[in-house]
């Protein structure tokens, strides 16, 4: 066995040459590692953005489906208001209905935030994503408030007279429902417009419940069938 003993360095020139070779090797190794890490981060961010865009398209499709019923909502609230003011002159409605309810999905963006993959995206894309999900969070919260208002409004279909105190409560519920409808339409419009900067458009979805568009003189069971929500039913 031959053991190669390192040769002694002769002179400062050779010493600095050796140091330079070692330093360059270390720099090349570090640069390569950084490039690989940057590629991995970029690849992860690209995959996250793709999934986020798909989630946004789904949520925007739900918002668009809701916007399509805006005319029915406004008309139904006018009908309820007219009945509340003169219940003795009109036949008690057998059906009131409700606006659609859509849950906004956030699992894709939540995962991206937890992994930190959003931080490597361009600032403009980060801001757009934040703005759109902000509108969607507002949309979610207002939907809940709206449904409580409509739960009060459905009481006009009960077999009892409307008292003066009932009228006051129903007028307040009508105003809450009108404000909620305006806010939801505004949030949906702003989110859809902002998403254009990411080249995201609303997904084509089923139209959802037609509950609020069904005439108020429709028998309850028939109205449920027409709402196309027979699997889940409709609230009384």
Q: What is the pLDDT along the chain (236 residues), one digit of tens a residue?
A: 555 545 555 555 665 566 566 666 665 655 555 544 554 555 556 787 899 999 999 999 999 999 999 999 999 999 999 999 999 888 999 999 999 999 999 999 998 888 777 777 888 998 999 999 999 999 999 999 999 999 999 999 998 899 999 999 999 999 999 999 999 999 999 999 999 999 999 998 867 788 999 999 999 999 998 887 657 778 87
Angle between helices 164-195 and 123-153 (to 10 degrees): 160
| Residue 209: per-residue pLDDT | 84
| Residue 201, token pair as written in the block | 């458009």
φ, ψ (nearest 5 deg) of residue 21: -60, -45
| Residue 36: per-residue pLDDT | 46
| Residue 44, token pair as written in the block | 């992860």
| Residue 29: per-residue pLDDT | 55
Q: Number of helices and strands (H, E) in the chain?
A: 6, 0
- Residue showing tokens 């006009």: 156
| Residue 7: per-residue pLDDT | 53
Q: Is 204 helix (H, G, I), strand (E, B) or coil?
A: coil
| Residue 47: per-residue pLDDT | 81
Query: What are the sequence ranges of the domains in the chain?
Result: 12-226
Query: Whole-angstrom Cα distance, residue 18 to residue 52?
Result: 51
| Residue 39: per-residue pLDDT | 43
Query: Whole-angstrom Cα distance, residue 35 to residue 214?
Result: 61
| Residue 63, token pair as written in the block | 């918002």
């Amino acid at each position: 066995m031959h053991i190669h003993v390192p040769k002694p360095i002769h002179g400062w020139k050779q010493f600095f040459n050796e140091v330079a070779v070692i330093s360059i090797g270390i720099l090349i190794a570090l640069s390569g590692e950084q490039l690989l890490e940057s590629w991995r981060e970029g690849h992860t961010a690209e995959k996250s953005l793709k999934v986020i865009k798909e989630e946004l398209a789904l949520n925007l499709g739900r918002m668009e489906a809701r916007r399509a019923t805006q005319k029915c909502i406004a008309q139904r609230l006018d009908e309820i208001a007219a009945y509340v003011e003169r219940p003795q002159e009109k036949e008690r409605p057998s059906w009131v209905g409700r606006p659609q309810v859509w849950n906004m999905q956030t699992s894709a963006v939540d995962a991206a935030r937890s992994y930190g993959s959003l931080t490597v995206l361009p600032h403009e894309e980060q801001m757009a994503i934040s703005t759109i999900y902000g509108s969607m969070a507002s949309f979610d919260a207002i939907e809940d408030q709206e449904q409580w208002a409509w739960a009060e409004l459905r009481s006009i279909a009960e077999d009892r007279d409307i008292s003066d105190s009932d009228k006051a409560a129903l007028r307040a519920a009508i105003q809450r429902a009108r404000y909620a409808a305006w806010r939801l339409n505004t949030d949906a419009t702003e989110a859809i417009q902002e998403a254009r900067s990411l080249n995201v458009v609303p997904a084509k979805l089923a139209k959802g419940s037609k509950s609020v568009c069904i005439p108020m003189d429709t028998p309850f069971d028939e109205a449920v069938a027409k709402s196309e929500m027979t699997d889940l039913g409709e609230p009384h």
